[in-house]
Amino acid sequence: MRMLDRGVLINSSEVLLHAHGERPKGLVDKTIVKTWSVWDTEQDEWFADEAVVLEVEGLKLELALMYLDSIVLSWNQIDLSSGPKRISDWDDSFTLRCSSNAHSNLKQVVGKTIRRNSVIEYFYGLTMVEDRKRPENVGQKLAKWILHGLKFDFDDACLLIYNDLDKTGISLEPFFDPKFRKAEVK
């Protein structure tokens, strides 16, 4: 399984929606038929640093989140018929395999029809408290909305694939916090 091209990072909702055009909207009213994730066979756990794949009626949406605000997203590019071949810089000590419907949260959405999907943003605020190289930066504030992930709504559930501090997170619970906002894909 060839993994995502991490050289194609997207770090804003606007760029994501512009780069992928109508494709995210085309997922609405389609059913998730299978999910894929990379599994660490030695630890018997999900390897959250690699791609999650949603098979949706003939399409494969492939995504991974990294850094604090970036997503790598592609369509129908990962070959699931072979084992994972990472382009990341992990050492060879991992024994990984691509697993179908292995992640418990992903397994629960198989067979569900996507009714809406949204891009999720997080309000990131920071006040510089120390900067030894540039003390004049102390007290400066940075505040902006950053790309956080994607949300898929079903009739009776939701799926969030989000940035979990430099790795991909998966949740069935929506975020209810004013630091999050969503832009529905229309």
Residue 77 CA: distances (Å) to CA of 5, 48, 59, 82, 86 = 10, 19, 10, 13, 14
- Other beta carbons within 10 angstroms of residue 6's beta carbon come to 15
14, pLDDT greater than 60: yes
pLDDT of residue 180: 83
User: What are the start-end ranges of the H helices in 113-184?
Assistant: none
For 29, the token pair is: 């009213």
* Residue, of 32 and 180, whose pLDDT is higher: 32
Select the more confidently predicted residue: 108 or 16.
Answer: 108
Query: Which of the pair, 109 or 148, is modelled with greater confidence?
Result: 109
Q: Where are the domains of the chain?
A: 13-184
Higher local confidence (pLDDT), 72 or 35: 35
pLDDT digits (tens, 9 = 90+) for 67-109: 888 888 888 888 877 666 554 545 566 678 888 999 999 999 9
At residue 135, φ and ψ (nearest 5 deg) are -60, -20
Segment 125-151 shows an average pLDDT of 85
Q: Give residue 93's pLDDT.
A: 65
With the C-alpha atoms ordered 118, 9, 122, 45, is the resulting torsion angle positive or negative?
A: positive
Whether the predicted model's global pTM rises above the 0.85 cut: no
